[in-house]
Structure 1
């Protein structure tokens, strides 16, 4: 798997320090945002600085800290919003769920495109496969291609996403982790929180991929 020539920018936003990813293809001057969780003005400024035109928003899952910036972005740039239908309950109640944490955000506008296992999303000339990797959320997906995996809150550097939240499924999480472990070791993992890592690093050091630990409840 080749290393991606895409420009990849990590934008850590909001009180839960969620990672939004800006993927920009300089050749076509097209871009997408993955998981715009908060601070829409900052995200829009990053798009402008990239010199690219925003084509779409892709969501790994729809917990409020991953969707809280959508409304502000789409008001300025009305682009398609791609998410898995199984996460619709989280998406539609994002503002209500955030309020339980004392966080105020605008509910996102209706999603326009469903993604599902086996699908493909594209930015410029670069196509990414959609992997359905439930467990942390029922509609959780990863976007895989060009040496990259945007895995949201499934796999972190040294850890994994929570499995004790509403609609979590620890057994599904374990299966999703084992699937991600089959990616080439050089694959760069772009997580929903924390630092960039690789599958190889996690296979060597992450207890959940080494078999020393399992998701809570699995």
Structure 2
């Protein structure tokens, strides 16, 4: 899973997706235009696989950005923090989920990952700059209280908020169905139809496709977003 999009002067922003772990979670590596600096979004597991992908492409990560704090999205954070000496950013409302990672791992019967410390809390509207990369933070709670989406160029990294033909679960700790739908309709569907959505699991989609066809959003999704 990879692709490119326009992103500043002298080059293109490149995205590589790395599927990791038992939950088949999508970790995304985003490289700056005309350079080698990158960020890692949602490193969920298999840190060695993520490192190999970065190394083979000659990319140097500057930060770890997380859309939310669930177990399957944070499992490789601590190893990457230590290897590269880079900060980990998460919304403060998901700190309790992060701290509960050992309990969640035992519940799902998976190995308990090392729980990282958050270096900086994310807030709605933040503009994050790393090298030539600029991400806008959009608070999109519902799947978790501190869920966020990252916007860069014509791309949204939406975590587990919106999927191809589906939406995020709300039966896990911190989930709220009405809040999730409001986040999607009022925040994500406000983006143009051609916006690519990189989800936390499964294939990429677009805002236009989900506006038109997502069965969980109803036939009035287009009207809601106007």
- State whether TM-score is above 0.5: yes
State the structure with bigger RCO (CA 8 A, min sep 6), 1 or 2.
Answer: 1
Match of 2:190, SS?
Answer: coil
User: Please, which runs of 5 or more residues in structure 1 have no aligned partner?
Assistant: 214-218
Q: Please state if 1:175 is matched with 2:182.
A: yes
- 1:81 aligned to which of 76, 88, 103: 88
Where does residue 191 of structure 1 map in the other structure? 199
- Residue pairs, 1:1-218, within 5 angstroms: 3-4=6-7, 5-178=12-185, 179-211=187-219
Equivalent pair of 2:181/2:217 in contact (CA under 8 Å): no
Q: Distance in 2 between matches of 1:155 and 1:11?
A: 18
Equivalent pair of 1:6/1:23 in contact (CA under 8 Å): yes
User: Please, which runs of 5 or more residues in structure 2 have no aligned partner?
Assistant: 222-226
More divergent stretch after superposition (77-86 vs 22-31): 22-31
Q: In the TM superposition, what is the alpha-carbon distance from 1:212 to its structure 2 partner?
A: 7.2
Match of 1:6, SS?
Answer: strand
Counting matched residue pairs gives 212
Match of 1:165, SS?
Answer: coil
Cα RMSD for the two superposed structures: 1.6
Q: Distance in 2 between matches of 1:187 and 1:123?
A: 22
So what's the TM-score if we normalise by structure 1?
A: 0.92
- 1:124-147, Cα deviation, whole Å (9 max, x unpaired): 212111000000000000001200
**After TM superposition, which residue ranges in structure 1, 4 or more long, deviate above 4 angstroms?**
none
